[in-house]
Chain A
């Protein structure tokens, strides 16, 4: 069964970018998610899958970014949470 023309990307979330000191990686994750949800015209409760793309060790003094942490800080409980990447 082909996936052709069945799915679409419907929202993009940007954040300030470049050199933006004094912020955690998690804070950028949350801002990007909030902006993507708003760009799509959705409510956060609509999101029932969350994939945190790839993984790096967190900076000094920061906790690792996990899909669960992103979801819980967003205040959502998706059916599907995954850490993934190509």
Chain B
């Protein structure tokens, strides 16, 4: 017996039209030229370039793949705004090593979802997205105080807990909806989940593996980079819509020349790679 039968979770903001900014400096950071979240993530990404031999050649694959998904999603802010490799490299720096397409959007709007028991879900209007497993791990306070900027991030333990609960491993995952505040966040998250080994990101992402038609679709709405920014609700809600077959032109399966999904892995990440939740959804 729980407290509730039907729980609604909502996130909304008018970030774009109210001019919300994320380039504020905390503490002494400004003295060192570090203004806000992009600066902090850039620091982790810069270190990863050294440690894992990654960089823009890997991240452009992520940005371009998600932009391709957005071309199939009329709701996406980047719908009708395709991007190729050349235009990626020609984009302005936000903070090195991130160019503009490496950074998520700011959006007006909102998103909500409703959770209940599988038992009650049977009688409702739409097919349910069954929560097969979930895990949380929150490994550090501030990135500046981390022993290792490159992790492991919370994805490692949170992912393992979620996989163990679901009784699956990475090979069972048909698609992912990954919190993508920056392109690098997608790479380090999938690496820590174990989809590829440290340093293998560039080879793994190339040739459109995560794009429409690819063998492991990632962020099929366009994600935070190319659809809209509603925190973890952008990836999770897209996971639900895909696993219940309600995605129209971007639906995984024959329409997008991809595998029809039985299991989709979704996540959220908070702070600067400090907090992490992984959720495994399965078809009912």
Contact = CB atoms under 8 A, between A and B. Distances in A.
Interface in B15-39: 15-20
B166 interface: yes
Nearest to B18: A59
B16 A8 contact: no
Interface residues of A, number: 57
A36 interface: yes
B269 A86 contact: yes
A54 B10 CA distance: 9
Contacts of A5: 118, 130-132, 282
A78 to B, nearest CB: 7
B188 interface: no
Interface stretch (B41-49, B104-112, B201-209): B104-112
B12 A25 contact: yes
Interface in B184-235: 228, 230-233
Contacts, number: 224
Given A14-B75, A22-B17, A42 B6 contact: yes
Given A8-B118, A49-B7, A15 B165 contact: no
Contacts of B270: 54, 85-86
A80 B12 contact: no
Contacts of A17: 75, 77, 107-110, 228, 230
A31 B114 contact: no
Interface string A12-26: 111111111111111
B116 interface: yes
A7 B231 CA distance: 22
A31 B11 CA distance: 11
Which of A49, A60, A79: most chain B CB closer than 10 A? A49
B114 A10 contact: yes
Contact of A12 (B7, B167, B237): B237
Interface of B: 3-20, 75, 77, 107-118, 120-121, 124-126, 128-134, 136, 165-167, 228, 230-233, 236-237, 240-241, 268-270, 275-277, 281-282, 284
Given A29-B12, A49-B5, A85-B232, 5 more contacts: A14-B109, A15-B109, A23-B17, A33-B10, A86-B270
5 contacts: A8-B117, A24-B14, A32-B112, A40-B124, A80-B7
